[in-house]
Amino acid sequence: MSKSLRLSEKWFRRGLWLVALVFASFLIGLGGTVVNDLPKVERALELDDFIDRAAASPLRSTIKASEETELVATRELEQVRLQLTAAQQASANGRETFGNWIATRRATAQPDQDPELIARTRSLDVLKQKEDEAQRKVAAQRQIVLDARQAEQRARESLAVLERTAQEKLLAEYRRVELRVFGYRLALTLPLLVVAGWLFVKKRKGTYWPFVWGFIFFALFAFFVELVPYMPSYGGYVRYVVGILATVLVGRYAIVALNRYLARQKLAEQQPDQVRREELSYDTALVRLGKNVCPGCERPVDLKNNEIDFCPHCGIGLFDHCGQCETRKSAFSKFCHACGTSAAPRAPLASAAGTVDSFTPGAPAQPAV
């Protein structure tokens, strides 16, 4: 198409495509904002929404109290352990001193030291009592820590059962919310696709085609980016079924369009040469000639062969001669490239099939642009 356009028209078309892309980008931004806000329609779900609060609250209170009790008991246990260590050290020192004194007493065998022996023995008993008392305190604190841990463990196990049940309910509700949000997306996207399809069929070549194509790009983006990634899978069944349906619909449209095209081509090839060229757009004819295909039937033709003036497939005239200077030129040219004479009707010439055509190959009628 670009070879047949004027320079200014070419740049205008590029600018209009830029307008289409910019328009599509703003629509995509707006649509993305709306789609991202769709989940906010649903309330945020939490595990506490589905747990048995009457049973869970006492368990959580027990866990909290047990943790606090365990923390306090652990601190107390550290203190009494220090006290036990000090008592054991004092008792050990007392026994060592007592042992040394006993050894001296036996060596000297002084009866007057018997009261001191009794006093030292009593002092050693006091140290042993303090050590035993520290041992009892350590054992008591250990028991408190153990009871708190066991109570916390029992409460956590019971709470875990409630939380598993609540988690199952939460996941089920998440799936329902996901389906509802997908339904919102589907309700937003499907009308866009329907409108985009109608615009593609009816308006893509109209005056405001940049906005039409911008909307089409936006609808395709909304479908493939904003909808398809969030489509429920259910093991792949949904996506595969949707893919099959989409493929069938697109394939059916393509087959119907191909059959209509072939029917139109077959009907067009039965028309006289002049009628067929009048129905061809000037720009379309130039584009097809630039691709070395026949403008009428779109089959390959060797346009460099100077002996070919008509399409060997459909018989449409490809080259004729200027009525002024007899120069061989394209039958679709509006002016002669050698003398600049406007293409005007001439006397009828025989076609490639030997029949007389009612149109003069040297002067094609003005095609609709």
pLDDT given for residue 279 in this prediction: 75
Judged against a pLDDT cut of 80, whether residue 299 lies above it is answered with yes
Judged against a pLDDT cut of 50, whether residue 115 lies above it is answered with yes
SS3 label, residue 356: strand
pLDDT given for residue 38 in this prediction: 72
Judged against a pLDDT cut of 60, whether residue 356 lies above it is answered with no
Calpha distance 288→269 (Å, rounded) = 16
Outline where the chain has alpha helix (H): 7-37, 53-108, 114-202, 209-221, 237-269, 273-279, 282-290
Report which of 53, 75, 52 is spatially closest to residue 148, judged by C-alpha positions: 75
Across 136-155, average pLDDT: 88
Per-residue confidence at 354, pLDDT binned at 50, 70, 90? Answer: very low
Phi, psi of 126 (to 5 degrees): -65, -45
User: Considering just the CA atoms, what is the radius of gyration of the chain in Å?
Assistant: 49
Per-residue confidence at 248, pLDDT binned at 50, 70, 90? Answer: very high
Average pLDDT, the chain: 78
pLDDT given for residue 365 in this prediction: 41
Residue spans per domain, the chain: 47-183, 233-270, 273-369
**pLDDT tens per residue, range 171-208:** 888 888 888 888 888 888 888 888 988 888 888 888 88
Is the full-model pTM beyond 0.85? Answer: no
Report the range of poorest mean pLDDT among 76-85, 239-248, 352-361.
Answer: 352-361
Percent of the chain with pLDDT over 90: 1
Query: Kindly report the CA angle at 9 between 5 and 15, in degrees rounded to 5?
Result: 125
Phi, psi of 58 (to 5 degrees): -60, -40
Across 76-92, average pLDDT: 82
Per-residue confidence at 113, pLDDT binned at 50, 70, 90? Answer: low
* CATH of region 47-183: 1.10.287
Residue 181 near residue 39 (C-beta atoms within 8 A): yes
Q: Which DSSP category does 329 fall into?
A: E
